[in-house]
Amino acid sequence: MKKALSILLALMLLVLPVLSGCSGGGGGQQQGGETQGVDNDSTYTFKAKDREPEADGKKHLKIACMLPGLDSQFWNANVAYGVQNAALDAAEKYPDWVVDVIVQGPTNEAETDKFINIMENVIASEDLDGMILSTLVADPAGPVVAEAKEKGILVNLYGFPVTTADENWGTIIRTDQAKVGAKAAEAMWETIQEKNLPEDGVVGMFNGVVNSTIELMLNGFRDRLQELGPELTILDVQYNEGDVTKAIAQVETVLSTHGDKIVGLYGGNNISGNAIARVLAESNLSGKMATVSVDADVEQLNSLEKGDMDALAVSRSYSAVYELTELTIDALIGGKEQPKYIRTDPVIFRKADLTDPDFPQMYIGDLWPEKMKR
* First-last CA distance in the chain: 33
Instruction: Give, for 86, the enclosing helix (H) or strand (E).
Output: helix 80-93
Q: How far is CA 99 from CA 24, 67, 160, 278, in A?
A: 29, 19, 24, 41
> Which residue(s) pair with 267 in the sheet?
206, 293
CA 224 – CA 271 distance, rounded (Å): 23
Question: At 267, phi and psi to the nearest 5?
Answer: -105, 120
Residues spanned by the domain of 223: 177-314
Q: pLDDT tens, 246-290? A: 999 999 999 999 999 999 999 999 999 999 999 999 999 999 999
> Which residue(s) pair with 239 in the sheet?
207
Report the pLDDT value the prediction gives residue 39, as an integer from 0 to 100: 53
Q: Judge contact between 76 and 103, C-beta under 8 A.
A: yes
Q: How far is CA 225 from CA 206, 215, 233, 249, 266, in A?
A: 15, 15, 10, 25, 11
Torsion of CA 77, 78, 80, 86, to 10 degrees: 130
Is the pLDDT score of 83 beyond 50? yes
Is the pLDDT score of 29 beyond 60? no
Does residue 238 form part of some domain? yes
Does residue 242 form part of some domain? yes
Does residue 368 form part of some domain? no
Is the pLDDT score of 16 beyond 70? no
Question: CB within 8 A of 282, min separation 6: which ones?
Answer: none
- Between residues 194 and 175, the one the model is more confident about: 194
CA 277 – CA 302 distance, rounded (Å): 10
Instruction: Give, for 130, the enclosing helix (H) or strand (E).
Output: strand 130-133
Does residue 329 form part of some domain? no
Does residue 227 form part of some domain? yes
Is the pLDDT score of 18 beyond 60? no
Burial 89-115 (b: 16+ CB within 10 A, else e): bbeeebeebbbebebbbbebbbbbeeb
Does residue 188 form part of some domain? yes
Q: pLDDT tens, 122-153? A: 999 999 999 999 999 999 999 999 999 999 99
Question: How many separate domains does the chain show?
Answer: 1
Does residue 296 form part of some domain? yes
CB atoms under 10 Å from CB of 223, counted, come to 15
pTM score, whole prediction: 0.75
Percentage of the chain lying above the pLDDT 70 cut: 89
Percentage of the chain lying above the pLDDT 90 cut: 74
Question: CB within 8 A of 245, min separation 6: which ones?
Answer: none
Report the pLDDT value the prediction gives residue 8, as an integer from 0 to 100: 38
Q: Judge contact between 62 and 100, C-beta under 8 A.
A: yes
Give me the CATH number covering residue 243: 3.40.50.2300
Does residue 322 form part of some domain? no
